[in-house]
Structure 1
Amino acid sequence: MSYLNNKIVIITGASSGIGEATARKLAHLGATVILAARSENKLQKIVDDILSEGGVAAYQPTDVTDQNNLKDLIEFAIEKYGRVDTLINCAGVMLFSMWENVKVDEWEKMIDLNLKGTLYGIAAVLPHMKHRGKGQIINVGSIAGHAVGEGHGVYSSTKYAIKAITESLRKELSVKYGIQASMVSPGVISTHWQDSVTDDDVKHILDKMNTVAINAEHVANTIAFVVNQHEDVLINDVIVTPTRQEW
């Protein structure tokens, strides 16, 4: 049975990678999707594709590091569709580097996007879901939030934090208000994330990881499974990795 028909789903980080694949997948399965990211041109193209295939979609240019942008995003969805059923916090960046190279600017960027961006999304949607007495918050974590590897230090720290946030949401919001809080943790995905890495000392790590990478569509399928649950059912943490990934 599908619970996706007419479900109103917001997806951050939806202009590329896992976010884009998830938006396309959910729209194909009958959900109404609102795509959020900084690149309006990319969002427009994806929404046009979804509409041309018979799906229902809209977009809102959004910088998740700006708390007011997240508030505007939630208000946009409510004004256009009357409610928000699901928020998928997918925006993020993965910038591997060695500690000794002290990439402080990149550390701050990951903290702002991965951690603060998720918190701002939760803060924006929570009053609405609490008032309704239901809703879903799905945080996209990482296998790096379960195991730390060389060059992963700060990135893993942000994803371990997402794990803690999601567990705390479950203990408070799921029990008190019926809000489903889940986390999906991908392994190595071929989303060109390595193009943003500036530390040459980790290039060998990236090269090895990318030999086993899987497509973002596989993660989108997993996220769709989590979204497609009855409001009385909570999927906790799901890890989805390449079969040949060794960690």
Structure 2
Amino acid sequence: MTEQHSAAEQKIILITGASSGIGSATATHLAAQGHTVILGARRTDRLAELVDIIEENGGTAKSTFLDVTNLENVTQCVNTIVAEYGRLDVLVNNAGIMPISPLAEAKVEEWNWMIDVNIRGVLHGIAAAQAVMLKQDRGHIITLASTGAHEVVPTGAVYCATKYAAWAISEGLRIESDPSLRVTTICPGVTESELADTISDPAARETMRTYRQSALPPTAIADAIAFAVNADAHVDVSEIIVRPTTQRP
């Protein structure tokens, strides 16, 4: 049974990349706990379906088009949330892509795409949300990195680099920030998602299918995110690594 929070504990939460996978599972889980979730992604048709499901189950949700590679779009989204709800309590920097391939394939466009979404997208979210949260004197920024932030695997050099960057940016934000701003990094291991759908290299795609045979459900990561969100205000959950028991390393 999902625990419901009192009105004083209910938070306004923006989740990027909310149209599938971890983002979708997190939105559903947090809404079931009584939080108001704003779902951001480019696939607005999927967001609309998810909002309907959340509302049918008694939750509160809203969807918005969000391209994390566009700073103006991210800033406008945050400002709209503040104008409507009076505040933004939590940003979940979840949007990410994983078109892995050997470096020898020189898939430069895919490398740049990962840099734009996985790094610039995180920075844009921080830039937009941090300004609001500093004015509020409270807030929480959660960034999804990966176990790839702590290890490099074949075909994953650029992806792991972007996730290490996300980890480093999040840790840097935590170190620099006033205690009123909580900062959390979540590092999922192998998790069921649509990330592998972006892999264009046939060999890498087949390797990833095998690698994901014992993947965690996205709800396992949603549980970790919810734990950080619901921690007492004086508790800063700095980092959580969640991986299948079979993932070695």
- For normalisation by structure 2, the TM-score amounts to 0.95
Whole-Å separation in 2 of the counterparts to 1:212 and 1:151? 19
**Structure-2 residue corresponding to 1:30:** 34
Question: Which of 178, 188, 210 is the aligned partner of 2:180?
Answer: 178
Structure 2: segments with no counterpart, 5+ residues: none
Question: Which of 66, 69, 76 is the aligned partner of 2:73?
Answer: 69
The reply on whether 1:246 has 2:248 as its aligned counterpart is yes
- Superposition pairs for residues 53-92 of structure 1, below 5 Å? 53-92=57-96
What's the offset of the Cα at 1:192?
Answer: 3.0
Q: Which amino acid aligns with 1:167?
A: E
For residue 211 of structure 1, give the secondary structure of its aligned residue in structure 2. Answer: helix
Alignment RMSD: 1.4
**Structure-2 residue corresponding to 1:165:** 169
For residue 139 of structure 1, give the secondary structure of its aligned residue in structure 2. Answer: strand
Whole-Å separation in 2 of the counterparts to 1:238 and 1:17? 18
The reply on whether 1:46 has 2:79 as its aligned counterpart is no
Whole-Å separation in 2 of the counterparts to 1:207 and 1:35? 28
For residue 192 of structure 2, give the secondary structure of its aligned residue in structure 1. Answer: coil
What's the offset of the Cα at 1:177?
Answer: 4.8
Identical counterparts, % of pairs? 39
Deviations 1:128-154 (A, max 9, x none): 111111100000000000111111100
Question: Which of 146, 151, 167 is the aligned partner of 1:147?
Answer: 151
Confirm or deny: 8 A CA contact 2:20 2:194 kept in the other structure. no
Whole-Å separation in 1 of the counterparts to 2:40 and 2:233? 24
Q: Which amino acid aligns with 1:202?
A: A
Confirm or deny: 8 A CA contact 2:41 2:66 kept in the other structure. yes
Q: Which amino acid aligns with 2:121?
A: G
The reply on whether 1:109 has 2:133 as its aligned counterpart is no
Whole-Å separation in 1 of the counterparts to 2:231 and 2:155? 36
